[in-house]
Structure 1
């Protein structure tokens, strides 16, 4: 099973995805104020989400990074990502949104001017009606933030073409601009940790499962930049290991002849121990010669706070000092025709600028899970798993779990007919869209605040 961020086919077995790529399942009962997307398992997996909630619990800052591809209209699938960003923002996080105009230019042949027009008219104008707080939201264009490209190229020294081919399936026919775009995305993901963009803090990236290759690449490159590796040892405690790199050999006490400068090595180990002490851990054994520090009173649950102190030290010493990004993953909503949603195929999705008439037409024409005749449907019932109207209620338009359960039961029993469940969906969808259009119109003045 392969995942392609640019052309993923329909994914059906999410458990297999989790097992193959090492994702952790999300337990919605352990989340603060879970949304219907969490409760229904639509947001189903994560990488290192604990670092976000540990920061929240400690009253420390955390951020959210999302992005938009300015190559078409905003549809309900895109809305789902912003809903997640808003949820994290409501929990106390700041939100950064990247407009991937360079990627759209490289992979889809759009001019930067057209990308800007799409971004503002189709996306940011809709964000204004979705409740994001402009005082805690920053939206930028890749082409206008050179540090993103610089960080992408810097991180790129920690990977190679073989790894990129393994992650993305690149071949000899892949353009170099396409190969470069994941590095720019990595720059997008990590640069909010720079001092001028909020400083060192955990960043979570909510994405569809097809974007996990970008997360894996970025996490791998970031981990290779870290000067202090924090790992669990055989005793279940934590061990710190010095990571000797081309740009830190002298600081880490390495001589030109490959030997160890004992005095310098002791200095760096003592500084690391001092940083660990700041996190509240004091039962420490160190081996400066081998560059290891064992923390006997720390377990993997304490890794985030210890790593934060060591990354702060790394920055003081001249390193990048970056945290690996966290991520959450949501399942794909089915397209109106039963396949994938696509901005380039209007019949497959509901756009946020669709008229009520178009919404009604699309839902009434959508793929059904009902039977061929009324009599057969009454006898056998419908299949909500493939029924688009039911799935859109589940994903977007019915937040009441009990009401959704009643609709599902009545549809499966045959009491609720295909036309009737579509009518329910039309009513809920148009009601939501009317309200959204009103909020969007009322808040157009916020666009400039998002872009400042």
Structure 2
């Protein structure tokens, strides 16, 4: 370390510990209370989300990789709620999905839970759910998902999924649903039934003969997969493997990313909106330039540094930036501008790709009932008009 390196004060250490607890609390809860394991003591893929610790914990990932490396046909299930849009916080899981798709030629199944959005009141009606789902499919293909090896499931136009849900529903009791999800008697029956549908999404590839399944998720989604893992053996299916990403906070440094909170960067946002969010991100900088040059910043709690570290820089680059920021050679404003540059580069490329995706592209990868005319549905909804 340089001679002028200064250790953190007790107060700064307390800040770091509290921030780190917030960042890893969900993952540690899964490990401490629900039997998940940290990603260690195993051979991990040579991909950035594993190298830098963005992928944090798992269930049976070692078993999944062993079977995959023996060339067993495998797949990923990675769902999305169509009441939301893609933001920067999603790209770690997306990039991990695409790594497996490109490296192993793996199929990816993407359930878009339009029905859950409806029964939970996140959208006005089912038409909204369908429109949002089709827009998300366009976004995911623009992001890089292979339209020939990605299979999108929108339940209202692939209602076959409900047959599997009905089959699985006999294995779930109301007591379990209330215990896991906290639902009460005054909430609608659609919510109480939805765990069976979500389990059907997770198990579905096994009905096609693909039994080695990986589900990459955020730590807050683990309860859904625990239900499906409990159900699977009751009906002759296998428990899916689970990969938990590290929780990434909103740009305010305090809470989950959300449009309503104004703390998220969405991939289709314009440059002005992105600048406003990134340049106002929570920082570990000091009150003045002179103080920052003298004492150095606190990268462990700096949102811009954390996003650069986990999503945009390799290990050597992240370590150098850490050292420069810690010793006052890089200012907070400079850190934010570096992140802004990386984010704009990513979002501009995404928007360019988005503009090129056609109705033919999305149609190719959507699973539908035989009687549904998908061309007519897409044209009627005006997704590309």
TM-score band by shorter chain is: 0.7 to 0.9
What per-residue deviation string (whole Å, max 9, x for no partner) do you get for residues 45-75 of structure 1?
1111233223322222011111111113221
* 3-state SS of paired residue (2:277): helix
Aligned partner of 2:229 in structure 1 is: 219
Displacement of 1:173: 3.6
Q: How does 1:311-390 map to 2 (within 5 A)?
A: 321-345=236-260, 347-390=262-305
Instruction: Verify the 8 A CA contact 1:74 1:343 in the aligned structure 2.
Output: no
Distance 1:341 1:15 in 2: 17
SS in 2 for 1:372: coil
- Give the Cα–Cα distance (whole angstroms) in 2 for the partners of residues 29 and 153 of structure 1: 38
CA distance in 1, matches of 2:316, 2:36: 29
Match of 2:282, SS state, is coil
Find 1:67's aligned residue among 79, 84, 100: 79
Q: Is the 8 A contact 2:228 2:239 kept in 1?
A: yes
What's the secondary structure of 1:67's corresponding residue?
coil
Q: Which residue does 2:127 correspond to in 1?
A: 113
Flag the 1:22–1:41 CA change in 2: closer, same or farther, 3 A.
same
Per-residue displacement from partner, 1:129-179 (whole Å, max 9, x unpaired)? 222211111112012223322222322212212222222233334432222
Give yes or no for contact 1:158–1:224 (8 Å, CA) kept in 2.
Answer: yes
Distance 1:371 1:173, change over 3 A: farther
- How far 1:382 moved relative to its partner? 1.6
Cα separation, 2, equivalents of 1:92 and 1:28: 26
Q: Give the drift of 1:40.
A: 1.5
1:147 aligns with 2:160: yes
Aligned residues: 343
How far did residue 28 of structure 1 move?
8.7
Q: Would you say the 8 A contact 1:333–1:395 is kept in 2?
A: no
1:27 aligns with 2:37: no
Which secondary structure state, in structure 1, belongs to the residue aligned with residue 205 of structure 2? helix
What is the rounded CA distance, in whole Å, between the counterparts of 1:47 and 1:368 in structure 2? 34
Corresponding position of 1:130 = 143
- Report Cα offsets for 1:355-382 as digits up to 9, x if no partner: 2222222111111111112222222222
TM-score by length of 2: 0.83
Q: Are 2:345 and 1:420 aligned?
A: no
The answer as to whether partners of 1:51 and 1:202 remain within 8 angstroms in 2 is no
Query: 1:109: how far off?
Result: 4.7
Contact 1:165 1:171 in 2 (8 A): yes
CA contact (8 A) 2:81 2:112 kept: yes
What's the counterpart of residue 48 of structure 1? 60
Q: Quote the residue 1:318 is aligned against.
A: none
Asked whether 1:205 is paired with 2:203, we answer no
TM-score, with structure 1 as normaliser: 0.71
8 Å contact kept, 1:397–1:432: no
Q: Distance in 2 between matches of 1:413 and 1:85?
A: 37
Distance 1:105 1:178, change over 3 A: same
Q: Is the 8 A contact 2:172 2:196 kept in 1?
A: no
- Describe the SS at the equivalent of 1:158: coil
Q: For residues 342 and 32 of structure 1, what CA distance do their matches in structure 2 show?
A: 28
Aligned to 2:92: 80
State the Cα distance separating 1:346 from its structure 2 match: 6.0
Two-structure CA RMSD over aligned residues (Å): 2.1
Measure, in 2, the Cα distance between the counterparts of 1:344 and 1:409.
33
Measure the CA separation in 1 of the matches of 2:343 and 2:203: 36
* SS of match in other structure, 2:165: helix
Inter-partner Cα distance in structure 1 for 2:165 and 2:22: 30
Structure 1 runs (4+) deviating above 6 angstroms are none
> Retained in 1: the 8 A contact 2:218–2:246?
yes
Q: Aligned partners of 2:259, 2:350: CA distance in 1, in Å?
A: 23
> Whole-Å Cα distance in 2 between the matches of residues 109 and 16 of structure 1?
27
Cα distance in 1 for residues equivalent to 2:364 and 2:258:
27
**1:266-298 deviations in Å (ceiling 9; x for gaps):** xxxxxxxxxxxxxxxxxxxxxxxxxxxxxxxxx
Tell me, in whole angstroms, the C-alpha distance in 2 between the residues paired with 1:354 and 1:29. Answer: 39
Give SS of 1:64's match. strand
Instruction: Decide whether the 8 Å contact of 1:75 with 1:350 is kept in 2.
Output: yes
Give 1:177-192 correspondences, 5 Å limit.
177-192=190-205
- Asked if the contact 2:24/2:247 (under 8 Å) is kept, the reply is no
Gaps of 5+ in 2: 1-20, 368-385
How do residues 156-171 of structure 1 correspond to structure 2 at under 5 angstroms? 156-171=169-184
